[in-house]
Structure 1
């Protein structure tokens, strides 16, 4: 096997932690797609924005970490809504290709603005003791954030499933995801539901960005690019449009990525390629994803 048991558990904990980060971001992707049938390519950049706001709140304004994180989440939600209003709302009745091009344009614009505003040099997010405590289990030493991230992801999943399945807003979201026009005729404010969906997605991106910054404390304007792509892949693998599927896809991708490197260290340089290989395999075997339903596409 080439790996003792303590190393295996250490790597498994890291894999679950990374998978839960991917899952947090993938939920945001999948919610927006579920309602709008739109891939929000700016999602990774909104994730980056959340991490930077947390950094400046803690360093420039010297706020407590919990206040910094709360401000980062709220400002990122506002930023996500601004992106939706500027880049997506004017194209609501346009062909899907136009909206996708707008999403890619918004992503490039945010990244380049971030380079100008935040600077190109890496910044290090201060890590509070709560997230940086080392916990020992025999020979296995695990940093506390490795446990905190999956717990946050599962709590978010439970809360979202409750909102979507048990509340009037959730019922309206499901109605809008099925048919815009029918939802409008039923008296549902479609624009309001879309805004709520973007707000939830942006909030999740902020949480993911903060947790990512705590786990890998190097912030860069392009830091959301590869995680954003991977989380889009996780959403597709799980069944894009399905919240539980996004979480399953995120965990699957994280575990595959870390455990493959753990067993085959020579493949470390190909780490990012695993996500794309998994995407190709899933699209060949089950194009709708793990939790996806086989629905005939509307022409």
Structure 2
């Protein structure tokens, strides 16, 4: 049963990576920007959810179940607002610049957001100091003892993460393929200049892409808090790298690939800690094996498992 437990744990961890990776993919598919600040959007969404619970007076104890959607909405609002502001003031002025400029800007924005959250939370009355790990609220039904299915124990946070990924994946598929705004996103991804000539507001489409990615990252931030029972201002850095790895693993620019890549990466991490014996196994080596997988994919299948979906523009 240890193998099955690790597999389920890996799938839930992979679902967390996939939620963040889809945000990378949506933005990259529109403007070919590797937004290294996206991991910090995930972190900001988690702190936004925590701040929402504190504003509702939930400081300790087990919160009622209805706090989950309230905290999700709060985290999404904070994350999407942050992402839209970043796009407007940090990325949009560099849209015609060489690709290295927005990449360096993304790294700068990442560091800025980390330090802002670290300093901001310590200054606001009623908010905990964020210089160390901050406890995340427990929520009725979504945290607590595992759910027993025969001899298999399912963590409640894992059930939430997997279900959240499935719902977000279905919503995103419908939005991109069945709505007018989604088709405009596809047109902008293929050729922004022609899309502009056809009457599409390209700037608006890019803002929508950033907002969608940020909303999914906020859901991942909520899932992370429920899974680990605490959040940290530095948590977005490694999670963002893992999500980028998942996006590359599945096929950069491919939404389905980002989901598959996230799940595969989570399972590989979980299995590596269980199946690899000796000094190269165990939880402390999981990050090593995750990036070994990235190197192997880049060497032997650089287009990813499902193939990249990026248009080469003249």
- Alignment TM-score > 0.5, same fold: yes
The answer to whether the Cα contact below 8 Å between 2:42 and 2:221 also exists between their aligned partners in 1 is yes
The answer to whether the Cα contact below 8 Å between 1:234 and 1:253 also exists between their aligned partners in 2 is yes
Q: How does 1:6-25 map to 2 (within 5 A)?
A: 6-25=1-20
The answer to whether the Cα contact below 8 Å between 2:164 and 2:219 also exists between their aligned partners in 1 is no
Q: How does 1:66-81 map to 2 (within 5 A)?
A: 66-81=69-84
CA deviation map 1:122-168 (0-9, x unaligned): 10101212212421122322222212211110111111111111111
Other-structure match for 1:3: none
Structure 1: stretches of 5+ with no match in the other structure: 1-5
2:148 is paired with a residue whose SS is strand
The answer to whether the Cα contact below 8 Å between 1:58 and 1:65 also exists between their aligned partners in 2 is no
Structure 2: stretches of 5+ with no match in the other structure: 59-66, 122-129
The answer to whether the Cα contact below 8 Å between 1:44 and 1:224 also exists between their aligned partners in 2 is yes
Q: Which runs of 4 or more aligned residues in structure 1 lie more than 3 Å from their structure 2 counterparts after TM superposition?
A: 293-299
CA deviation map 1:174-201 (0-9, x unaligned): 1111111111111100000000000000
Q: 2 CA distance for matches of 1:218 and 1:148?
A: 16
Other-structure match for 2:34: 39
1:136 is paired with a residue whose SS is strand
Other-structure match for 1:94: 97
Instruction: Give the TM-score of the pair, scaled to structure 1.
Output: 0.94
2:298 to 283, 290, 293: 283
1:151 to 163, 170, 182: 163
The answer to whether the Cα contact below 8 Å between 1:15 and 1:254 also exists between their aligned partners in 2 is yes
The answer to whether the Cα contact below 8 Å between 2:252 and 2:309 also exists between their aligned partners in 1 is no
**Count of aligned pairs:** 294
Shift of 1:93: 1.2
Shift of 1:66: 2.5
Other-structure match for 1:107: 110
Shift of 1:296: 8.3
Other-structure match for 2:287: 272
CA deviation map 1:83-142 (0-9, x unaligned): 111210111111111111111111111111122112312101012122124211223222
Q: 2 CA distance for matches of 1:231 and 1:293?
A: 16
2:170 matches 1:186: no
Closer, same or farther: CA 235–285 of 1 in aligned 2, 3 Å:
same
Q: How does 1:52-71 map to 2 (within 5 A)?
A: 52-62=47-57, 64-71=67-74
Other-structure match for 2:249: 237
CA deviation map 1:184-229 (0-9, x unaligned): 1111000000000000000001000110011012211111110100
